[in-house]
Amino acid sequence: MFAIISLVMIVIISMIVVRVATVALTLTGLSTELARFQARSAFTSTGFTTSETEKVMRHPVRRRIIMTLMLFGNAGIVTAISSLILSFINADTDSTFWQRMAVLSVSLIILWRIAHSTWVDHHISRFIQWALQRWTDLELRDYAGLLHLTDDYIVVEMVVQEGDWLAEQPLMKLKLTDEGVLVLGIERRDGTYIGAPRGDTTLHVEDILLLYGQAKTLQNLDERRKGAEGNWEHHKAVEQQQQILIEQEEIEPSDSPQSPSDG
């Protein structure tokens, strides 16, 4: 039973390590989905495509994160396999074997549900981001100073995928500025880079977008799918941005000079 407990603890630690690395990668400018994919790939040593390898190798902070993940992953997988073998090697009877199997299955199911909980993901990610920014130097050092990123505003790279709300649409139709999102640049699949794209520029699958906006808005945009639901998410994002603008206007001091009192 001790070996099963050890195995569950290894899985928990592995999940925490991957989650920390995912948040750290988002602080370097990657979208949440791409950061999650790269973190899991590095931890399991499954590798990347050529374009993703270039993104890591040419960025020193991402390179350190991926190297650390690979070291943790190699040690964690070997230890997990060893604990799994020890969990059942001493099972003398069938009842003991199935009892241990049940404990292990229930533990993994609980961890799986926790790992895929939106509420848990949101709060843990916010805490990890705060901790990384508080005690490390990972906070977008290459462009944070230039863009004066505050109030949850960030810059991310986002890959347009098949079925995304953004795919095969011109910028003028998407109206991302109404959501408070600015497209700073587009890198095409062939390596061509379009800086400050115009409204008639169409976004294609596998384009890499450089976006500026609030973190929660960009995360919603990254997860948004084509169709009526995606259009509704856009409508809600526009309403939220309008509310933010109204609140900002209310708290800003009036710029017009006061007229002197008569008499």
Output the pLDDT for position 142.
45
Contacts of 180 (CB under 8 A, 6+ apart): 213, 214, 217, 237, 241, 244
Output the pLDDT for position 130.
74
Tokens of 7: 């195995």
Q: Determine which of 57-66, 170-179, 198-207, 251-260 has the lowest per-residue pLDDT on average.
A: 251-260
Asked whether the whole model's pTM tops 0.75, one would answer no
Contacts of 129 (CB under 8 A, 6+ apart): 23, 26, 27
Q: Which position has the token pair 């960009």? A: 218
- What type of residue sits at position 2? F
Tokens of 148: 């004066």
pLDDT digits (tens, 9 = 90+) for 105-160: 787 788 777 777 777 777 777 777 777 767 766 554 445 444 555 567 778 888 89
pLDDT digits (tens, 9 = 90+) for 6-36: 667 777 777 888 888 888 887 777 777 778 8
Q: Which position has the token pair 């462009």? A: 143
Rounded CA separation 120/131 (Å): 16
Contacts of 256 (CB under 8 A, 6+ apart): none
- What type of residue sits at position 3? A
Q: What percent of the chain is predicted at pLDDT more than 70?
A: 68
Output the pLDDT for position 65.
80
Output the pLDDT for position 145.
46
Higher pLDDT, 75 or 208: 208
Output the pLDDT for position 30.
73
Tokens of 166: 């953004």
Secondary structure (H, E, C), the chain: CHHHHHHHHHHHHHHHHHHHHHHHHHHCCECHHHHHHHHHHHHHCCCCCHHHHHHHHCCHHHHHHHHHHHHHHHHHHHHHHHHHHHHHHCCCCHHHHHHHHHHHHHHHHHHHHHHCCHHHHHHHHHHHHHHHHHHCCCCCCCCHHHHCCCCCEEEEEEECCCCECCCCEEHHHHCHHHHCCEEEEEECCCCCEEECCCCCCEECCCCEEEEEEEHHHHHHHHHCECCHHHHHHHHHHHHHHHHHHHHHHHHCCCCCCCCCCCC
Instruction: Say how many C-beta atoms besides its own lie within 10 A of residue 7's C-beta.
Output: 22
CA dihedral sign of residues 249, 224, 36, 212: negative
